[in-house]
Amino acid sequence: MNKGKILAMLAVLLPTLALAGLIVQKESLRSQPPVVRLPITGYDPRDLLYGHYLQFRFDFAGEPVAPACQPVLQGGMAEQCRLCVTASGAYSVIPVEDKTADCAYRLPLTHLTGVRKYFIPEDAAPELDRLLRQPGLVMAVDIFASGDAVTYGGLYITGEPWRDYLRNHPPPDQQQ
Amino acid sequence: MNLSAALRRWQHEGLVDTATAERIAVFEAQRGSGRFGRAVIGLGSLAILLGIGAVVGANWDAIPAWFKLTMHSAITLGLGIALLRTPRSTARDVLAFLLMGATLTFLALIGQVYQTQSPLWQPMLFWLVVVTPFMLTFARHLMVIAVWCIGFAVTLMAGAEPLTKWLEHTNLALAFFAAIPYLLIGMGQSLAFRRRLPEWGLALAVFGTVALMLTTSHAQILWHMNASLSLDDMHQIKPGLVTGLLGAASLFLLRRNSKLVAQPISYDILLAISPVLVSLPLLFSHGGMPVVGALFFMGYWLVIAWMGLQTGRQGLFNLAVVIIALRLVVVYVEVFGSLLQTGVGLIISGALLIALVLGSRRIIKQFAHKQVSL
């Protein structure tokens, strides 16, 4: 086989190989237990849903946030701060330069602040939208991480996977 | 058209003899046979594809993620192998286009399954990097290459904000964007590149030129605004202007040394004045100068019209004349807008519009005639 044919073959295989590599990277990230489960909150009561995406913010309001990192609560300063997750699963927001905190993981906040989105099936959207507005109901997302790579896992409602929760708690208009 | 009736008419007028008419009738009858069958098979195949799409769509959430990813991998791989085995033809270009699309939808699927939170520019850049090698190797149809160009432009637009932020301390953000059309034109018009990939050369040169023309035309809107820039802004604009001028000068010199495709002088003038016209509204403080902006806009399109004539592109010349005429109408509304509320004003406006349309048509016809006689 000549050099041209080998290059042509590599060129057509590149998309499949590169995308398969991406899947392997994501799977290896998810093969470990989640680093932390973070509560979420809707960010705009008028428009929580955007297409098939549930839009939300991570809710750090009840957790310790270093004074220098307070703007993180409004979605700013993501590059200057980190999410410190201890071995017991407790977490706080600390400045990048704080090396004294006892953290098992120091997650970058670039994917954990501001408006985030979570893909959901269209038929579940209205109910999840209603639940996200419901006061007192805790919705949370699993966070997987390795080094600086962060990816989201399952969406939970009061500790149950969202699909199980919707099955076990049908909306009021569908209850018999 | 009824062929039998047309043949009878042509025979009657003496345009074809009886033997020719019979041969045409036989030829058309043979050509048409089986067409109905093929159409039915095509419709059936389309219905099956739509049905599969509908079933998959309705059960999308019930299909396990691993199955969706595996199937999409198989589709992408299958398209790649088909592309490799297909000789140069329209079918190969269609396959390259489909593989380009499948790569993008595969990325979207991965984003959906793994809830990736990447900003748009990251998957777009990934897509561009993985599709460009097979596109350069196999895609030869200008329309398919144009889709790649659109992908390139979208990636650039999606990445503009982070790139600007990354380069803000160097004052080179605008310079980076100013260099891109000239790099595309230089690559596309390079004789060495044209020998290897003529279709890509043409597409890149047209893409770069159109990007420059659109940016420059659009920038004239800045004359309508109150421009009072800070020193920081000025420090960004000047490197952009210098980069554009250096790009134009480099292309001119390379062309003079027969390294690039020959172009008339109007083309090099267009390349040189574009960065000046983009920067000019921002180079000094003003409270808005719409008439000056209109004059620059029309002057720029006059150069494009000249370029259309010199390069023999009648369509470009016609487009430029129409755009200048439309801009004149807008100038009239901008300057004498209040007159439109009066009867006399309406009459003058109507007369002006008719004069512009007739004048444009006359100019186009006149120069079209000259073009033919050259």
Please write the tens of the pLDDT for every residue from B179-189.
999 999 999 99
Partner-chain residue, chosen from A9, A14, A26, that has the shortest CB–CB distance to B130: A14
Q: How far is CA A4 from CA A1, B99, B193, in A?
A: 8, 20, 17
Cα B153 to Cα B146: distance, rounded to the nearest angstrom: 10
What average pLDDT does the structure give for chain B?
87
Provide, rounded to the nearest whole percent, the portion of chain A with pLDDT above 70.
90
User: Is the Cβ of B104 closer than 8 Å to some Cβ of chain A?
Assistant: no
8 Å CB contact between A72 and A101: no
Contact call for residues A58 and A143 (beta carbons, < 8 A): no
CA distance B61 to B65: 9
Q: What is the mean pLDDT of residues B128-156?
A: 96
Confidence of residue B374 (pLDDT cuts 50, 70, 90): very low
Q: What is the pLDDT of residue A48?
A: 59
Residues of chain A in contact with residue B76, where contact means CB-CB under 8 angstroms, are 15-16, 19
CB A134 within 8 Å of CB B72:
no
Q: Is B81 within 8 Å of chain A by CB?
A: yes
Q: Which residue type sits at B189?
A: Q
Read off the pLDDT band of B231 (50, 70, 90). low
Give the mean pLDDT of A41-57. Answer: 70
| B153 vs B337: which has the higher pLDDT | B153
Contact (CB, 8 A) for B151 and B220 = no
Rounded to the nearest 5°, which phi and psi values hold at B87? Answer: -70, 165
Proportion of chain A above pLDDT 90, given as a percent: 23
Q: Over the stretch B236-269, which tens digit does the pLDDT of each residue have?
A: 788 899 999 999 999 999 999 999 999 999 999 9
- Per-residue pLDDT at B205: 96
Top-confidence range, A99-103, B78-82, B320-324, B337-341: B78-82
pLDDT band at residue B154, thresholds of 50, 70 and 90?
very high
* H/E stretch holding A38: strand A36-41
Looking at the predicted structure, is the pLDDT value of residue B118 above 90? no
The beta-carbon neighbor of B116 closest among A15, A18, A151 is A151
Of A11, A18, A119, the CB nearest to B115: A119
Question: What pLDDT is recorded for position A169?
Answer: 87
Cβ–Cβ below 8 Å for A11 and B115: no
> Does the pLDDT of residue B32 top 80, yes or no?
no
Mean pLDDT of A45-70: 76
Average the pLDDT over each of A157-171, B98-112, B157-171 and give the range with the smallest value. Answer: B157-171
Q: Which residues of B touch A118 (CB under 8 A)?
A: 115
The answer to whether residue B372 scores a pLDDT higher than 50 is: no
Q: Which of A40-49, B46-55, B151-160, B314-323 ranks highest by mean pLDDT? A: B151-160
- What is the mean pLDDT of the segment spanning B291-307? 92
| Residue B228, pLDDT above cutoff 80 | no
User: What would the pLDDT profile of B286-295 be if each residue is shown by its tens digit?
Assistant: 778 888 899 9
Report how many helices (DSSP H) and strands (DSSP E) chain A contains, helices first: 3, 10
Residues facing B286 on adjacent strands: B227
How many Å lie between the alpha carbon of B131 and the closest alpha carbon of chain A? 7
Confidence of residue A80 (pLDDT cuts 50, 70, 90): confident
Determine the pLDDT at residue B252.
Answer: 96
Residues A52/A120, Cβ–Cβ less than 8 Å:
yes
Does B59 touch chain A if contact means CB atoms closer than 8 Å? no
Determine the Cα–Cα distance for residues B144 and A120; give it in Å rounded to an integer.
33
Q: Please, how many CA atoms are within 13 Å of residue B26, restricted to the half-sphere of its CB? A: 6
ipTM above 0.85, yes or no: no
Cβ of B137: how many Cβ atoms within 10 Å?
A: 19
* B220 SS3 class: helix
This prediction's pTM: 0.79
Residue B373: pLDDT band by 50, 70, 90 thresholds? very low
Q: Which helix (H) or strand (E) holds A91?
A: strand A91-95
CA distance linking residue A20 with residue A9, whole number of Å: 17
Residue range B272-287, pLDDT digits in tens: 999 999 999 888 777 7
Closest CA to B113 of B71, B69, B62: B69
A interface with B, Cβ–Cβ < 8 A, is 7-16, 18-20, 22-23, 26, 30, 111, 116-119, 121, 123-124, 150-153
Q: What is the mean pLDDT of residues B32-45?
A: 78
Q: Is the pLDDT of residue B319 over 50?
A: yes
